[in-house]
Chains A and B, each alone.
Chain A
Amino acid sequence: MKFDQPATTNPIDQLKVIGYPHDRIDGPLKTTGHAPYAYERHDIVADPAYGFILGSAIAKGRIASIDTGAALAAPGVLKVVTWKEAGPLAKSKNHTAHLLAGPEVEHYDQAVAIVVADSFENARAAAKLVRIDYQREPGRFDLSQQVGRAPPKGASSGEGSGSEPVDRVGDFEAAYASAPVKIDRSYSTPDQSHSMMEPHATLAVWNGDRLTVWTSNQMIAWAVRDLSETLKIPKENVRVVSTYVGGGFGAKLWIRSDAVMAALAARAAGRPVKVALTRPQIMNNTTHRPATVQRIRLGAGHDGKITAIAHESWSGDLPGGKPETSVSQTKLLYAGANRLTADYLATLDLPEGNAMRAPGEAPGLMALEVAMDEMAEALGQDPIAFRILNDTQVDPEKPGRAFSHRNLIGCLELGADRFGWSRRNPRPGQVRAGRWLVGMGVAAGFRNNLLMKSAARVEVTRDGRVVVSTDMTDIGTGSYTIIAQTAAEMLGVPMETVTVNLGDSSFPASSGSGGQWGGNNSTAGVYAACQKMRDEVAQKLGSNSADIHFEGGQVQMGDRRIPLAEAAGGMSVEDAIEYGDLGKTYQQSTFAGHFVEVGVDAFTGEVRVRRMLAVCAAGRILNPKSARSQVIGAMTMGVGAALMEDAVVDKRIGYFVNHDLAEYHVPVHADIPHQEVIFLDETDPISSPMKAKGVGELGLCGVGAAVSNAVYNATGVRVRDYPITLDKLIERLPEVA
């Protein structure tokens, strides 16, 4: 189905099933421990061998020699595979670092070997017996040394957002120089780890020259492609299955070493092998969100209208890598005639930087939306009024191009009302509740809506069940449920009648999960397949689609009512949603107003979030329960980004030092208060037949800045270097004798 005109009224608009906060259909399996994740497929392979990956002990250099003799001789060991034994291997174009090192080492904990043994215990112990001599070379590990020197580099984030190296509109320098009110601020965000709860894991099985991997991956078709490229085997010989994925947040957009090493190990050992990365390996063996240094300059008239806006960002990656596109939202969020945005890329020999939830916008808004707060203060304006004043309904770089639908103002105004913004004291450091200095902060949330082709197969069984199959993944997003809702709505059957099969490359290729595009696109693909089913049923019944209704498990044609099982039993159709250029003609984005109240301990500087509210404008909400969960989860991640998450680089050794969950802090229960989410009641017919957009990343975009602005309002101390930990506040807090 080609989608190249805005949607008109369609069966989804009935809203009998869509839009209803249905419990997740995978809930009973997940809450009882019966949902099988990749490492748990005892049903597939009863007796796999166990692989354990050994990572590089140096950040950069080469392996001078490697001796696997002791490991091979250790009890239970079946094979040891290094680059020497791996056979032909390539690097897929989607990977910056090789997934198996040797003899070159590109980063710390890069896989150098896998030990295969009859038990996990034996494999893990034997991995320590591999003897390696390294030639270490000096590496570049310090982003701050390259700020101001690194070359401009544009890129797609790989998850939707993107930027040209340098974008200019009007004459920024002249406008900024003549602006009566201006600020020039620098901010930094640290490296962050996805830290999803399920470690990367793969079970690999070879059948002749055909490989099947049960793995934990967000993008099945990409996984097939990249395994094929990496192992140099035809795509047709690769099957990838990810039925349940224990979180990804971007870490599982692309296959990682577990998949490749499991495949190599299984081939070498001649039997199925399963591998999971250990928690400490996840930080340095896989990818992370790169640190940024950002400079923002804003110039405005006394009336508060922005006349000049510049956002520049520096980040680093391995040679051949990509920048964190932190400036992308600044092209679109606010009006202003004179603009400059630029991303600069430093070369760093740290582990591979890559997409993490809302790449670009997440760190970009942590800077931009604090700068907006600082500018409002410089102007003596309320931060919400200042944002509203500078709203735009068109792409500021291309004023002829409108937003498909944009209600940022509605988010901010409703949020202000619900959150009690009028009670905020604009003078910082004034509100005290016992030991706590209390403050409120706001930030705008912004994230683009991405359109991706997505296919599905729909079958009606002879007993009237509807079976939907697509390689879409459910990474906690609720895909199983909203896909069932879509099929139920389209074919007029109860939810219980629908079976959803996901995450298998033998199913039609979907959009996959990433960039908050999964919900809208994968359901639009299911819509397309269901529409095709409706057309074929109509045709079979000698009617046309316009005169036929699907309702209550029956097909209705004039006075005739035929059970769906009878009308369509045994039929199977496949179709995809494919997009025209509505994504180019219109700017499609999602919007939020994030509101946060914090308390800062007047003595210790500890920051604790007291209240949170997000108001989101993101098109039709397909399932308000799972959508709300996506948003509160993202808000939680935003609290982590603002207050604690920091993958610390040892700049001498070149690795992330705090590489486990005890030392890399993500929020725990006690950090998170009750959270409110409001979805504006809207549809976006330009987005897809579902009229929906994404929310999963929007919920994160802006949260960090709202926390930061609240900390400033509470204390009068502006910390521009994330995370806002107490050591950065303590010496600037008021005396407490």
Chain B
Amino acid sequence: MKPFTYERATSPAGAAAAAATAPGAKFIAGGTNLLDLMKLQVETPSHLIDVNGLGFDRIEPTPEGGLRVGALVRNTDLAADPRVRRDYAVLSRALLAGASGQLRNKATTAGNLLQRTRCPYFYDTNQACNKRRPGSGCAAIGGFTRGHAVVGASEQCIATHPSDMAVAMRVLDVTVETVRPDGSTRAIPIADFHRLPGDTPDVETALTKGELITAVVLPKPVGGRQTYAKVRDRASYAFALISIAAVIEPDGAGRVALGGVAHKPWRVAAADAALPQGAKAVTERLFADAHPTTENRFKLPLVERTLAATLAEHKAEAA
């Protein structure tokens, strides 16, 4: 870990301004991912701005009938909020499927969105990684790719986004609210928040320099039967091989988003539309442009079968 200076932010705009002006500055909230990476010098900020004192720690109703979730609301508290459990079960379920009790107690809503990939080549500074060091190459390509992206990847990067929460948020179409160094605010639809790797896999989100997430807004309840199916190699405390956030209406219509298959939570409009036709039709559309490797090809049938299970449960419950 490189030395860094540390300050406790006292106002959102002030924090954003400090982040924009201090070279090598980063925000820190829960720290569960940032400190992990700093210890390995994958992340090397020279200045940390602790935003924990900014008070974005409440969940409040919005005039539209939804909920505004403060950026600093801990994963445990978001998952346990009675309104979230009742109206946004997919979000509660996704959060509870992630990490461990200890990590959920510390990890924040904003930090979870900003989690970096678990690609083991990204984590080892001896290896090439365009995400960690742009232009150095991608050691994952041609290497151990069992957990890597099967869709939406590029010749520069085949990493996946590791968040469970973000997958549920994608299926719920949440909005990410931010403040920028000049004090202006904006709302970014979750669909536009995470980026595909393209030629700049180091640029992972739509955030600009110094921009600080202040809240995530959940739309008014979307109803439906909400599930989050996470498939992993051990029963708990493991990242997803694949995951499926689903909201299914009584008539079989609905929406699905996938985790563990791409550089961002993966959702395809045509796949949503195909839901009444069943798992095979949906999976074909989700993976219309898939480029799996020998090692991660299994994710395609796995998504189809997992979705089949979700739809079967829905049918059984509806009957």
Interface residues of A (CB under 8 A from B): 57, 75, 121, 124-125, 128, 280, 435, 601, 603-606, 608, 643-644, 648, 650, 652-653, 657-660, 662-663, 665, 667-671, 725-727, 730-731, 733, 736-737
Chain A, Cβ-Cβ closest to B279: A737
Asked if B110 CB lies within 8 Å of chain A CBs, one says no
Stretch in B46-54, B118-126, B150-158, B257-265 touching the partner: B118-126
Contacts of B253 in A (CB 8 A): none
Contacts of B144 in A (CB 8 A): 648, 650, 657-658
Asked if B146 CB lies within 8 Å of chain A CBs, one says yes
Contacts of B1 in A (CB 8 A): 121, 124-125
Q: A603-B306, A644-B234, A736-B309 are in contact. Are A731 and B298 (CB under 8 A)?
A: yes
Determine whether the beta carbon of B235 is less than 8 Å from that of A604. Answer: no
From A604, A608, A657, B143 is in contact (CB under 8 Å) with: A657
From A121, A603, A667, B234 is in contact (CB under 8 Å) with: A667
Contacts of A644 in B (CB 8 A): 233-234
How many whole Å from A283's CB to the nearest CB in chain B? 11
Determine whether the beta carbon of B124 is less than 8 Å from that of A665. Answer: no
Asked if B248 CB lies within 8 Å of chain A CBs, one says no
Contacts of B280 in A (CB 8 A): 737
How many whole Å from B276's CB to the nearest CB in chain A? 15
Q: A604-B306, A657-B120 are in contact. Are A668 and B236 (CB under 8 A)?
A: yes
How many whole Å from B162's CB to the nearest CB in chain A? 10
Determine whether the beta carbon of B41 is less than 8 Å from that of A128. Answer: yes
Q: A57-B126, A603-B306 are in contact. Are A726 and B241 (CB under 8 A)?
A: yes
Q: A280-B40, A435-B309, A662-B118 are in contact. Are A670 and B235 (CB under 8 A)?
A: yes
Q: How far is A114 from B2 in the complex, measured between Cα atoms in Å?
A: 18
How many whole Å from B224's CB to the nearest CB in chain A? 21
From B3, B238, B298, A730 is in contact (CB under 8 Å) with: B298
Contacts of B234 in A (CB 8 A): 643-644, 665, 667-668, 670-671
Q: Which 8 A-B pairs have the closest CB atoms?
A: A670-B235, A727-B298, A603-B309, A670-B236, A57-B126, A603-B305, A657-B144, A657-B120
Given contacts A121-B3, A726-B241, 10 further A-B contacts (CB under 8 A): A125-B3, A605-B302, A662-B118, A662-B238, A662-B239, A668-B234, A670-B236, A726-B233, A736-B305, A736-B312
How many whole Å from B78's CB to the nearest CB in chain A? 22
Contacts of B23 in A (CB 8 A): none
Determine whether the beta carbon of B123 is less than 8 Å from that of A665. Answer: no
Asked if B237 CB lies within 8 Å of chain A CBs, one says yes
Contacts of A663 in B (CB 8 A): 118, 120
Q: A604-B231, A657-B144 are in contact. Are A665 and B238 (CB under 8 A)?
A: yes
Q: How far is A57 from B142 in the complex, measured between Cα atoms in Å?
A: 19
From B2, B142, B233, B305, A125 is in contact (CB under 8 Å) with: B2
Asked if B25 CB lies within 8 Å of chain A CBs, one says no
Q: How far is A726 from B309 in the complex, measured between Cα atoms in Å?
A: 15
Determine whether the beta carbon of B121 is less than 8 Å from that of A657. Answer: yes
Give the interface size class of chain B: 35 or more
Q: How far is A671 from B235 in the complex, measured between Cα atoms in Å?
A: 5
How many whole Å from B313's CB to the nearest CB in chain A? 9
Q: A644-B234, A668-B234, A726-B298 are in contact. Are A603 and B308 (CB under 8 A)?
A: yes
Determine whether the beta carbon of B239 is less than 8 Å from that of A737. Answer: no
| Listed A/B pairs (12) with beta-carbon separation below 8 Å | A124-B1, A124-B39, A280-B124, A606-B232, A650-B143, A659-B120, A663-B118, A668-B236, A670-B236, A726-B233, A727-B146, A736-B309
Q: How far is A192 from B248 in the complex, measured between Cα atoms in Å?
A: 42
Q: Mark B259-294, 1 if CB is under 8 A from A, else 0.
A: 000000000000000000011100000000000000
Determine whether the beta carbon of B308 is less than 8 Å from that of A736. Answer: yes
Which of B118, B126, B127, B234 has the largest number of chain A CB atoms within 10 A?
B234
Asked if B301 CB lies within 8 Å of chain A CBs, one says yes
Determine whether the beta carbon of A730 is less than 8 Å from that of B305. Answer: yes
How many whole Å from B94's CB to the nearest CB in chain A? 17
Q: How far is A38 from B118 in the complex, measured between Cα atoms in Å?
A: 31
Determine whether the beta carbon of B298 is less than 8 Å from that of A652. Answer: no
From B3, B123, B306, B309, A660 is in contact (CB under 8 Å) with: B123
Q: How far is A47 from B118 in the complex, measured between Cα atoms in Å?
A: 37
Interface residues of B (CB under 8 A from A): 1-3, 39-41, 118, 120-121, 123-124, 126-127, 139, 142-144, 146, 231-239, 241, 278-280, 298, 301-302, 305-306, 308-309, 312
How many whole Å from B123's CB to the nearest CB in chain A? 7
How many whole Å from B109's CB to the nearest CB in chain A? 22
Chain B, Cβ-Cβ closest to A725: B233
Q: How far is A127 from B124 in the complex, measured between Cα atoms in Å?
A: 15
Contacts of B39 in A (CB 8 A): 124
From B41, B143, B302, A652 is in contact (CB under 8 Å) with: B143
From B127, B238, B298, B301, A653 is in contact (CB under 8 Å) with: B127
How many whole Å from A144's CB to the nearest CB in chain B? 14
Contacts of B118 in A (CB 8 A): 662-663
Q: How far is A57 from B125 in the complex, measured between Cα atoms in Å?
A: 9
Contacts of A652 in B (CB 8 A): 142-143
Chain A, Cβ-Cβ closest to B41: A128
Q: How far is A435 from B40 in the complex, measured between Cα atoms in Å?
A: 42
Contacts of B143 in A (CB 8 A): 650, 652-653, 657
Chain A, Cβ-Cβ closest to B298: A727
How many whole Å from B182's CB to the nearest CB in chain A? 35
Contacts of B142 in A (CB 8 A): 652
Q: How far is A57 from B235 in the complex, measured between Cα atoms in Å?
A: 34
Contacts of B305 in A (CB 8 A): 603-605, 730, 733, 736
Determine whether the beta carbon of A653 is less than 8 Å from that of B139. Answer: yes
Contacts of B298 in A (CB 8 A): 726-727, 730-731
Contacts of B239 in A (CB 8 A): 662
Which of A604, A605, A644 has the largest number of chain B CB atoms within 10 A?
A604
Contacts of B241 in A (CB 8 A): 726-727
From A604, A643, A671, B302 is in contact (CB under 8 Å) with: A604
Q: How far is A124 from B35 in the complex, measured between Cα atoms in Å?
A: 14
How many whole Å from A260's CB to the nearest CB in chain B? 22
Contacts of A650 in B (CB 8 A): 139, 143-144
Q: How far is A615 from B110 in the complex, measured between Cα atoms in Å?
A: 51
Contacts of A657 in B (CB 8 A): 120-121, 124, 143-144
Which of A665, A667, A727, A731 has the largest number of chain B CB atoms within 10 A?
A727
How many whole Å from B4's CB to the nearest CB in chain A? 10
How many whole Å from B302's CB to the nearest CB in chain A? 6
Determine whether the beta carbon of B139 is less than 8 Å from that of A608. Answer: no
Determine whether the beta carbon of B309 is less than 8 Å from that of A604. Answer: yes
Q: How far is A659 from B301 in the complex, measured between Cα atoms in Å?
A: 28
Contacts of B126 in A (CB 8 A): 57
Q: How far is A605 from B299 in the complex, measured between Cα atoms in Å?
A: 12
How many whole Å from B259's CB to the nearest CB in chain A? 14
Q: How far is A725 from B295 in the complex, measured between Cα atoms in Å?
A: 12
How many whole Å from A59's CB to the nearest CB in chain B? 10
Q: How far is A257 from B262 in the complex, measured between Cα atoms in Å?
A: 39
How many whole Å from A692's CB to the nearest CB in chain B? 35
Contacts of A604 in B (CB 8 A): 231, 302, 305-306, 309
Contacts of B123 in A (CB 8 A): 280, 660
Q: How far is A128 from B279 in the complex, measured between Cα atoms in Å?
A: 49
Contacts of B41 in A (CB 8 A): 128
From A606, A668, A727, B237 is in contact (CB under 8 Å) with: A668
Determine whether the beta carbon of A659 is less than 8 Å from that of B124. Answer: yes
Determine whether the beta carbon of A668 is less than 8 Å from that of B233. Answer: no
Q: How far is A75 from B3 in the complex, measured between Cα atoms in Å?
A: 10
Q: How far is A601 from B234 in the complex, measured between Cα atoms in Å?
A: 13
Determine whether the beta carbon of B236 is less than 8 Å from that of A726. Answer: no
Q: How far is A650 from B127 in the complex, measured between Cα atoms in Å?
A: 11
Q: How far is A725 from B235 in the complex, measured between Cα atoms in Å?
A: 12
Contacts of A668 in B (CB 8 A): 234-238
Q: How far is A669 from B126 in the complex, measured between Cα atoms in Å?
A: 33
Q: How far is A665 from B237 in the complex, measured between Cα atoms in Å?
A: 9
Q: How far is A121 from B3 in the complex, measured between Cα atoms in Å?
A: 8
From B235, B237, B238, B312, A608 is in contact (CB under 8 Å) with: B235
Contacts of A435 in B (CB 8 A): 309
Determine whether the beta carbon of B237 is less than 8 Å from that of A737. Answer: no
